[in-house]
Amino acid sequence: MSFLTLKFSLFLSVAVLVFHELPPRMRSRFLLAVSCLFYMSWSVPYAFLIGGIAVAAYASALEIEDRPGAGKRTFWMTGVAILLMVFLFFKILPFLPSGGPSTLLMPLGLSYVTLKLIGYLTDVHRQGIKAERSFVSLANYAAFFPQIPCGPIQRAADFLPQLAEVGRVRQETLLSGLRLILFGLFKKMVVADAIGSHVDVMYSQLGIEVGARYFLCVYAYAFQLYADFSGITDMAVGIGRLFGIKAPDNFNRPFYSPNILEFWRRWHITLTSWFSDYLLVPMKSRLTGLGTPGLCLSIFVTMTAMGLWHGFHWNFLIFGALQGIFMVVSILTLSARDRLFIRAPLLNKCRKFIGTVITFHLVALS
């Protein structure tokens, strides 16, 4: 049941109307039922799979919080291992010699659910948040249906307190949600689809030469991808607000970024911040003694892992590794670039523009 179908529009309309007519104490359970129905419209067996990993995360978090000493780490590692094994099973399955059973496709949203629950277990282990004692609440967090297809990856510390307050949804929240849905629809169905139809034609006519038409395709595809992805994400955030859940923004004018590090702070923000908090920062902390090389290695590994998260294919691996290399080069050359622009005042006035153009090309061409 895609966001863009009439069937989903009817489903959402009924769900929102019933949700707001229910007593506040029943809304959380109803929201979970709505999320289950949404997922079952894609796959009933995989809906039970998502429920199963939510149970594993729920039980692990309680044990992490209740166990003393080393027991906390044991249950944290066990919970994370379970989540990763399920995720990696579906990622690796297509590459097995037999190709795997043809019916076992990647479950919708499993990548996002896995990151959300690993982050939740890690936050409980770090004692950043308390383990959620209500399974209904944790299951709502794991399977909140607007965030299943494309995110954003909302943290448990942000989502769960809002879920506890769904009995008091303000009119301003509802109106802002409707505006985001309409804006997302416009970006997806008007901008992205219009550009996409031309991009498909241009790519089909490309030869092996690299000329103006090739670069036009590259530029157009970059804007198509942005409008498509950010449009769906805007819709997801807007739908969440209809139920009183405010999710974080996932895009912040990324093509205006003056350098590659800033670009990844503005593009798919919740994914970048997740990998930063749960992979980059711990790795950088362990490699502190290495100084700048340790920082560069941490960044390269993190960006490569982000690439592989999208898919176990060479193109994703190379893309992630390239972004890591671009970031490392940006860090290592910062002092030299500062000196260059100080010596050239005219260039310094255009520094942000030059950086924005270079950053856009680094991303678009890679």
pLDDT, one tens digit per residue, over 309-359 is 998 899 999 999 999 999 999 999 999 999 999 999 888 899 999 999 999
Give CA 238 to chain center in angstroms: 16
Query: What is d(CA 120, CA 196) in angstroms, rounded to the nearest whole number?
Result: 37
**CA neighbours closer than 13 Å in the CB half-sphere of residue 13:** 6
Query: What is d(CA 178, CA 173) in angstroms, rounded to the nearest whole number?
Result: 9
- CA dist list (Å): 39 to 50, 142, 342: 9, 12, 56
- Domain residue spans in the chain? 6-163, 177-242, 256-365
35 pLDDT more than 80: yes
**CA 62, 68, 71: angle at the middle one, nearest 5?**
75
Query: What is d(CA 306, CA 283) in angstroms, rounded to the nearest whole number?
Result: 15
Nearest to 224 by CA among 195, 203, 189, 197: 195
Q: What is the mean pLDDT of residues 19-44?
A: 96
The CB density around residue 140, as the number of other CB atoms within 10 Å, is 25
CB 327 within 8 A of CB 295: no
pLDDT tier, 146 (very low <50, low <70, confident <90, very high otherwise): very high
Q: What is the mean pLDDT of residues 284-311?
A: 95
pLDDT tens digit sequence for 183-239 = 999 999 999 999 988 887 777 776 655 667 778 888 999 999 999 999 999 999 999
30 pLDDT more than 90: yes
pLDDT tens digit sequence for 257-268 = 999 999 999 999
Give CA 289 to chain center in angstroms: 31
Question: pLDDT at position 265, please?
Answer: 97
Burial bucket for residue 191 (CB in 10 Å: 0-12, 13-18, 19+): middle
The CB density around residue 9, as the number of other CB atoms within 10 Å, is 12
Question: pLDDT at position 333, please?
Answer: 95
Nearest to 131 by CA among 32, 71, 64, 55: 64
Report the 3 state secondary structure along the chain. CCCCCHHHHHHHHHHHHHHHHCCHHHHHHHHHHHHHHHHHCCCHHHHHHHHHHHHHHHHHHHHHHHCCCHHHHHHHHHHHHHHHHHHHHHHHHHHCCCCCCCCCCCCCCHHHHHHHHHHHHHHHHCCCCCCCCCHHHHHHHHHCHHHCCCCCCCCHHHHHHHHCCCCCCCHHHHHHHHHHHHHHHHHHHHHHHHHHHHHHHHHHCCCCCCCHHHHHHHHHHHHHHHHHHHHHHHHHHHHHHHCCCCCCCCCCCHHHCCCHHHHHHHCCHHHHHHHHHHHHHHHHHHCHHHCHHHHHHHHHHHHHHHHHHHCCCHHHHHHHHHHHHHHHHHHHCHHHHHHHHHHCHHHHHCHHHHHHHHHHHHHHHC
Query: What is d(CA 274, CA 255) in angstroms, rounded to the nearest whole number?
Result: 21
Query: What is d(CA 267, CA 319) in angstroms, rounded to the nearest whole number?
Result: 15
Question: pLDDT at position 100, please?
Answer: 54
Crossing angle (nearest 10°) for helices 314-332 and 292-310:
150
pLDDT tens digit sequence for 39-48 = 999 999 999 9
Q: What is the mean pLDDT of residues 109-116?
A: 97
274 pLDDT more than 90: yes
